[in-house]
Amino acid sequence: MAWRDSRGSHTRLVLAMTAMMIGVAALVAILAFAANVHSAMATQAKVLLGADLVLNSRQPLSADMAALLATVPGEQAREIRCTSMAYFPRSADTRLVQVRALEGDFPYYGTLETEPPAAAQHFRHGLQALVDDSLLWQFDAQVGDSIRLGTVTFEIVGRLLKIPGEAATAALLGPRVYIPLPALAATGLIQPGSLLTYKHYMKLPPESDLTQLLETLAPHLASQRLESETVQKRLASMGRAMTNLSRFLNLTGFIALLLGSLGVASAMHVYMQDKRTTVALLRCLGVQTRQAFLVYLLQAAALGLLGSAGGVLLGSLIQTFLPMLLRDFVPVSLPVRPAWGAYAQGGLLGVWMTLVCALLPLVSIRRVSPLLALRVAADTTPAARDGLRWLLGLLMGLSMVAFALAYTERWAYGLGFCLAIGVAFLLLTATARLLIMLVHAWVPASWPYVWRQGLANLARPQNQTLLLVLTLGFSTFLLLSLALVQQMLVQQVERKGEAQQPNIVFFDIQSDQRDAVVQLVRTFALPVQQQVPLVTMRLSSVKHQSVEVLRNAPGTPIPTWALQWEYRSTYRDTLSATETLVAGTWHGQVSDLDRPIPISLETEIAHTLGVTLGDILVFDLQGVPLTTTVQSLRKVDWQRVQPNFFVVFPPGVLETAPQTVVLVSHVPSNALSAALQRAVVQQFPNVSVIDLRLVLATLDTLLARIVFALRFITLFSLVAGVMLCVSAALTTRTQRVRESVLLRTLGASRRQIGQILTTEYLLLGGLAAVTGVLLAVLASWALSLYLFEAPFTPTVPPLLLTVLAVMGLTVLIGRLSSRGVVQHPPLDVLRDA
C-alpha cells in the first residue's frame, strides 16, 4: 500500500530525498576525511616528529649535557633555527625567512621532499641551501641561483617541497631555508640578543626504552631548561589540532544535514496535507489509524534509507577531493581509504533525522476523521493542541544538541553552536511569519494587479514562504559570514598601515649599529618613529618558588612555556601608544637598586603566571639575578605593527646590559620599502625586517585558502537549499495548476500568470537574502567585537551584490520549476467541479 500510494508523488519525494542525500554526503565526506587523518597520523606517527626524541632549548647545550647525550646509543643530529633576511642577488629581492642550520641525517623517519630528490642530501655539505618552493616562485628564482644569508652567499641546490610533520601553510608564515650547520657561524647571524632555537634530534635503537631514558635525563633537562618532545607528545598535539579542524567541519556538514531534514519535514507536511482525503477514505473502508500511519511511516523510512544510502555513496566520492582541498593544513600524507565507521555513522544519522523530521507532519494522521472524505468543502476545523508534536519537536532539538556536544571540544561550545543555529532559525522564522501577517493585513491597493497577486501568494494556503526564507536565508547567512570575516581580518591589518602608522620594523640591530641604521633610514627621507632597546632574560622564580620546582610540581597551573620563555624586555619612562594602564602605578625611574625593581607586566602574562600587584618575580639576566616586584599591569594592543612587550622595566636598570635595538618607521610605497630593505640587508646582514605589506599579503593568502576550504563545505548547505527550493515549487505544483486555471478562467493571460510567479519568487528571494545578509552582518560584528577585538565596517557593494544574486537565483529556480503550470486549459477547473 505504501508503494502504490507513493507512485503519483515520486518526483516531489525524490527531491526531498535529494536534499537529505546532499546533507548526508557532506557529513559522510567530512567524517571519512577525519577518520583518514587520524589513521594516517597513527601509521605515520614517527614521521610527524622525524625522530624518536627531540630536545628543544633557547640556549646551547652545556658541555656536561652534551657529554651526557653523547653516551646515549643511536644516531643524533643538531639544528639551530633563527630568522634572517634572505637576499637574492639575481633579482635584488629580500624576504624574512626561517633559517634552519642542520647537521646530521635528520629526518630519520620520512624524507625532505625536494626537487631534484638528491638535493635533500647534497645541501648538507659546503655552502649550499634548500629553499622553500613558495619563496622561489615568489621571486622567480631557480635551482642554481644564489641566496645570501648574513654575510655568506649560498648556492640553491634544490626546491624544498615538503617537510615531515609540517603543513604546507607553515611556508606562508615563514619560508624555510636549510643550510649546513657548520656554515651558520660564518654568516654572522648569531649575535648577542639573537633569538635562536636549538634542537637535538635522537634516533634510538629498537631495543631502547624511551621512558627509562627520559627518567634518567629528567633532572638534567630541568636544570638546563630543555624541553623534550616524543612521538606521543607530537601525535597528541597534532591530534588535538586535527580534531578541532574535523569538529568544525563536522558542525558545518551537520548544518547541511539540518537543511536536508528541514526539506523532508516541509515536503512531508505538504504531502500529508494532500493525503488527508486519502487517509479519510481509507478510514471509511475500515483501515485503522495505526495502519494508515504505518503506510506513510514506511514511505518516510524508505525516503530516509534511500537518501542516506545515496548520501553515503556521494560522500565517499567527495571524500577523495577533501584531501586535495585541505592538504595544506594537514601535516601528513593522506591516502584515501574506505572509512566504514564514518559511512555507517553518517547513514544512520541521516535515517534518524529523516524519521524524526517526518514524524512531525505524520502524527496529524491520528486526527483525520473519516467524515472528511464525505465533505465537499475543505476541513476548516482548527487544529487542537497536540502534545506529541511538541514532544517530537523536543526530540529533534535534543538530537541536534547531542550531535553538537559529540563534535565539540567543550559542552559550552556545543550549546553555543546550537544556540546560534537556533537564534538564526528563530529570526528567519519570525521574519517569514511577520511577512505573512503583513500580507494578510495589508496589500497596497495602488500596486499593479500582478504585484498584488504575487504578494498575496506569499500568504496563501500551503505557501512556501517559511521554507524558502529559512533555507535561502540560512545559506546566505553562512556563506556571507565567511566572506565578511575574511574581509574584516584583512581590513584590520590594512588599517594598521594607514596614514603615518608604523608599517616596517627592523630588529636584531646591535648597539654599535644603531646610529648607522638610523642614518641609513633617514637618507631615504623616512621618519624614525621609535628606537626601542631590547634585553633578553629568563624567569628564575615566581613568588619565591624557583622555576625548576614549579615545572616539576604536579598540577602546577603555570604552563611550561611561560616558565621557559625567553623574555625580550625593554626599559622606558612612559607608556607607549599601544598600551593602557589598567592597575597599579607607573614607575618612571629607579634610584635605589637595593630594593626590588618595580616593573610593569602585560595583563595576560600576569594572569598566566598567576601574579598580581606586589608579587615578586626574579629574572636571570645572563647569570645576574634581577629581583622585581609587579608595580603595574598594562593592556597591550598586540595587533599594532610595532614593538610590544610582556615586561617593561623603568630606566636606571638595564642600560648597561647586553641588548639589541628595534627600529620602527613608516614607508609610503612598496618600491621605497624594497629599496630600503635591500640597502639595510647589504650593509647590515644580521638585521631583519618585518614589512606590514608582506604580513598583509601573507594573511590574505592564508585566509583565502582557509575560506576557500570552508566555502566548499558550506556550499553543500547552499545546494541543499536550492534543492529545497525546487522541492517546494514542485510540491505545491498541483495547487499552482489550480490557481493558474482559475486565473485563466477569469481572463488572466499566460504572461500575467508568469509575471505573478516571478513577483512571488522575487519577493521571497529578496526577503530571504536581506534577512540572511543582516544575520551575517550581525554575526560578523559580534565575532569582530568579542573574538577578534577589531572594528567592523562592512562595505555595501558586496552586500547588495549578494542580495541581487540570491533574488536572481530564487526567480530562476522558481520559474524553471513552474514550467508547464500555465499550459493547462481553463476547462480543467470545470472538470474538477
Alpha helical stretches, state H, 746-826: 750-786, 796-817
The arithmetic mean of pLDDT across residues 291-318, rounded, is 87
Q: Which amino acid is at 189?
A: L
Q: What percent of the chain clears pLDDT 70, i.e. is strictly above it?
A: 81
pLDDT at 100 over 90: yes
pLDDT for 437:
83
Ranges 185-194, 209-218, 263-272, most confident = 209-218
The arithmetic mean of pLDDT across residues 431-443, rounded, is 81
Position with higher pLDDT, 199 vs 428: 199
Q: Is 439 helix (H, G, I), strand (E, B) or coil?
A: helix
b vs e for 672-702, b when ≥16 Cβ sit within 10 Å of the residue's Cβ?
ebbebbeebbeebbbbbbbbbbbbbebbeeb
The arithmetic mean of pLDDT across residues 302-315, rounded, is 88
For residue 272, CA distances in Å to 300, 355, 365, 455 come to 11, 15, 8, 26
pLDDT at 378 over 50: no
Q: Which of 119-123, 125-129, 314-318, 325-329 has the lowest mean pLDDT?
A: 325-329
pLDDT for 775:
86
Confidence tier at 502 by pLDDT (50, 70, 90):
confident
Q: Is 52 helix (H, G, I), strand (E, B) or coil?
A: coil
> Cα(377)–Cα(811) distance, rounded to whole angstroms?
33
Q: Which of 345-349, 401-405, 593-597 has the lowest mean pLDDT?
A: 401-405
Ranges 142-151, 242-251, 397-406, 682-691, most confident = 142-151
pLDDT at 381 over 50: no
pLDDT for 626:
92
Q: Which of 344-348, 391-395, 486-490, 800-804 has the lowest mean pLDDT?
A: 486-490
Q: Which amino acid is at 676?
A: L
Ranges 61-65, 97-101, 290-294, most confident = 97-101
Q: Phi and psi at residue 156, in whole multiples of 5°?
A: -80, 110
> Cα(759)–Cα(634) distance, rounded to whole angstroms?
59
Q: Which of 97-106, 161-170, 733-742 has the lowest mean pLDDT?
A: 733-742
> Cα(337)–Cα(329) distance, rounded to whole angstroms?
19
Ranges 152-156, 280-284, 783-787, most confident = 152-156
* DSSP secondary structure letter of residue 174: S
Confidence tier at 252 by pLDDT (50, 70, 90):
low
What pLDDT, in 10s, does the model give residues 633-673?
A: 999 887 666 788 999 999 988 888 888 899 988 888 888 88
357-417-797 Cα angle (round to 5)? 100
The arithmetic mean of pLDDT across residues 203-210, rounded, is 88
Tell me if 167 sits within 8 A of 329, measured CB to CB. yes
Q: Which of 9-18, 468-477, 583-592, 771-780 has the lowest mean pLDDT?
A: 9-18
pLDDT for 699:
64
Ranges 354-363, 461-470, 690-699, most confident = 354-363
pTM passes above 0.75 = no
pLDDT for 492:
62
The β-bridge relationship of strands 128-132 and 152-162 is: parallel
The arithmetic mean of pLDDT across residues 282-287, rounded, is 83
* Domain boundaries defined on the chain: 427-498+695-833, 528-665
Give the helix/strand (H/E) hosting 524: none
pLDDT at 832 over 60: no
Instruction: Please classify residue 767 by burial: count the beta carbons closer than 10 Å to its beta carbon, then call 0-12 exposed, 13-18 middle and 19+ buried.
Output: buried
Cα R_g (the chain), whole angstroms:
34
Closest by CA to 652, choosing from 578, 594, 581, is: 594
The arithmetic mean of pLDDT across residues 488-514, rounded, is 72
* DSSP secondary structure letter of residue 641: S
pLDDT at 811 over 80: yes
The arithmetic mean of pLDDT across residues 738-766, rounded, is 79
Confidence tier at 338 by pLDDT (50, 70, 90):
confident
Position with higher pLDDT, 180 vs 479: 180
The arithmetic mean of pLDDT across residues 19-34, rounded, is 81
> Cα(358)–Cα(263) distance, rounded to whole angstroms?
10
pLDDT for 79:
94
Q: End-to-end CA distance of the chain, in Å? A: 28
Confidence tier at 377 by pLDDT (50, 70, 90):
very low
pLDDT for 149:
92
Confidence tier at 376 by pLDDT (50, 70, 90):
very low
pLDDT for 647:
94
Per-chain mean pLDDT for the chain: 80
What pLDDT, in 10s, does the model give residues 510-545?
A: 888 899 999 999 999 888 888 899 998 989 999 989
pLDDT at 380 over 50: no
